[in-house]
Structure 1
């Protein structure tokens, strides 16, 4: 008993000394690197009135106003296969993180029943288990004698003391990886919202183009009837009829092409929502699709570091790399493992649970340190430090690219707004030209070629305006995403 107390006392002293060592954690605590951020975004020309809120902080349900679009986005977030996969990855990461917390506790195993009996013969070089034969009251044979006989049950434990915060650093690494998985899910959500919104805008654009094409066909029909009357009167040649028909067929051929594109776009949107191909309901107007720019601002550039999932993900990867470098450094230092066993053991099954005769117990304390492992540990530590440096560079790169992306998006929104104003004037002018060309043709002051040219210009002007409206909507959504909006 005294020996056991001395042994335990010695282990306690070792643990106490290592506790003092434990106070000096090796490795570096994570500190966010200094990021390259401007005071304002280049090209910030949006007009703000009164109290404004940063676009990146607006919830997507408040940013988008169209009820049909909101329903599509809701369905996509609930049923999209990539989103479901991201949620499963998040659950996996949660379980791994929770498991690592248990590493602070000892590992305990129980041997419910253990039986081991071995036989040897005279040429083995060692004798039989004489105590076994004494218990049996028999003389040991020369061949196939019982060399070992053991039956027992026991509980044993092993506990590694976290001297250098290896487990703590691993917990920090897993937490960062868990948060990285969360940001990956947020990035997928933002991507889905952007794709659904752009697909919906494309449908509106295609609907508008079909209306333009059909309206132009009707206009050409009217012109063709008028030209036929003049042809019958002998005022013009058959060439006028043929060219007018060609213009009409050009506009008419747009309709089946646009109908095909509508079906393809509807199928693409249904795929995003995890559904089979089908038609999609939609609104009929470009107006009031999302929040007006006068109600929002770009916010400070520092906000994109807090808002954008890809930047947040890069920072969590840097935190994980920093923690891994600390782990690899700790692997080069001594480790302390405490263990023990308690149970019963006997040579004969009948004495298996003979208490106290069959009792066994033991306690161990191992302080081990690596000396030479072919430079493996040193190399792993050096590589981990380089990986940490690489992760920091990737974070810096993400930030610089994000700032440029916001600047590009806001300039695109602003310049396309100017283009829209000019395109509307062009459409008004083209329609007026069609009207005047028709009146002049009836009065004999314009040729049929001038009428056809005016109608062709009007068709192109209308189609260009529709496309420009869609591009402007897409650019506004890109700006929202670039500022980190959509994942809340």
Structure 2
């Protein structure tokens, strides 16, 4: 009994000392971020948790995004990565606690009588059933550091999942606007072909009457063929873009409904840009990189803990017996401890720590790069909105001028004032201007997609980010 009390006292002493943990404690990196964005022309309000894609007021886009969020394979894979990280945390956490197993064996054999050279008529039942107990005491904190790393990886995977969702939403919106652009350009090509086909018919009649030279007819036919060739080209772009959009939706190809046109999309009035300091607290990819850094910092402690001896407690309790019946068994028990540690391994354990420190520096630089990339993407997106707005206004001005010039040139040609070359040039300018305006509007709309993606997508605010961390701590 005295031994048991001493052993219990020793165990309590060890548990008391388990409050320490080797390895560095995580220190959040501090950055001297700019107070405002250099190209900030939006409001400084913080981006709240909103479904920003609804600002375009397109029900088809809204439905496509919701469908993609539920069925896209990349999003589903990211969700499974979260489940994997959650299970890894549970698996790692089990190392902190004692292990209790069950073990048993049984033999039925004859009994040899020494000195007689014969066996007894009574055979023996030899059996043993025990509950082995083992516990490697986390004296140096390596298991707690491993648990810390696994918990950080879980948080990182949660933010990684949200980053995938934001990227998916942006890709769906961008591809959808591209589809509307190609449909608009296909419509322009069809209208242009119909117009040029009618011009060829009129000039053919005039040529047959001897009013115009054959060169005018040939030039009109060339322009008709150019417009006609553009139609299958844009049809191809429409169909391949539909296929790309269906792939994002996680389904086989099928037609995408068209309830609105490119020019019917709503353009937002203002953008809640906020400040750069807010960016690193709401961009999921930045938060993902930060918690990957937290996990790697904890792994340094795991590696340092492996340099020290492992202290383990072992024991068992059970029954054991050997006799002609099962009633002859007796209770057995044992308790003990062990210490196993490295003495000389040519610096292997020290190098293990150096490896984790080098990986920590890599993670730190990745986090730093994520912050720089986030700010840079916001700056570029703001530039895109400002310049594409000006470019689209200029493109519309060009379209209005080209249409008017085309009408005037046709009137001048019909009145015999100018040659058909002027009509051809004005018609070609009108066709190019209309195609360019559609392309520019698509880029202008996509620039709004880019800014919301760069700002964190409106998918995560600071309170929700903290909620992700707290949920992981409760696992």
Q: TM-score, normalised by structure 1?
A: 0.87
> Which residue number in structure 1 is paired with residue 76 of structure 2?
84
Number of equivalences: 456
> Which residue number in structure 2 is paired with residue 409 of structure 1?
381
What is the distance in 1 between the residues matched to 2:53 and 2:238? 25
> Which residue number in structure 1 is paired with residue 239 of structure 2?
263
- Is residue 2:56 matched to residue 1:35? no
Q: Deviations over 1:331-386 (max 9, x none)?
A: 22233211211112224463x4425xx22110112234332233221111121112
Query: How far has the Cα of 1:23 moved from its partner?
Result: 3.1
- The answer to whether the 8 Å contact 1:151/1:349 transfers is no
Secondary structure at the aligned position of 1:361 is classed as strand
What is the distance in 2 between the residues matched to 1:161 and 1:242? 93
What is the distance in 2 between the residues matched to 1:141 and 1:479? 95
Query: How far has the Cα of 1:443 moved from its partner?
Result: 1.4
| Mapping of residues 73-472 of structure 1, within 5 Å | 73-115=65-107, 137-139=113-115, 151-287=127-263, 289=265, 292-294=268-270, 296-348=271-323, 350=325, 352-355=326-329, 358-472=330-444
- The answer to whether the 8 Å contact 2:49/2:459 transfers is no
Query: How far has the Cα of 1:448 moved from its partner?
Result: 0.7
What is the distance in 1 between the residues matched to 2:227 and 2:116? 110
Query: How far has the Cα of 1:455 moved from its partner?
Result: 0.3
Q: TM-score, normalised by structure 2?
A: 0.89
> Which residue number in structure 2 is paired with residue 124 of structure 1?
none
What is the distance in 2 between the residues matched to 1:137 and 1:103? 49
> Which residue number in structure 2 is paired with residue 120 of structure 1?
none
Query: How far has the Cα of 1:41 moved from its partner?
Result: 1.6
Q: Which runs of 5+ in 1 are unaligned?
A: 118-131, 143-147
Q: 1:12 aligns with which of 8, 11, 16?
A: 8
Structure 1 residues 109 and 190 mapped into 2: Cα distance closer, same or farther (>3 Å)?
same
Q: Deviations over 1:28-62 (max 9, x none)?
A: 2211111242111221123x4xxx74447432454
Query: How far has the Cα of 1:451 moved from its partner?
Result: 0.5
Query: How far has the Cα of 1:220 moved from its partner?
Result: 1.5
Structure 1 residues 419 and 106 mapped into 2: Cα distance closer, same or farther (>3 Å)?
same
Structure 1 residues 240 and 300 mapped into 2: Cα distance closer, same or farther (>3 Å)?
same
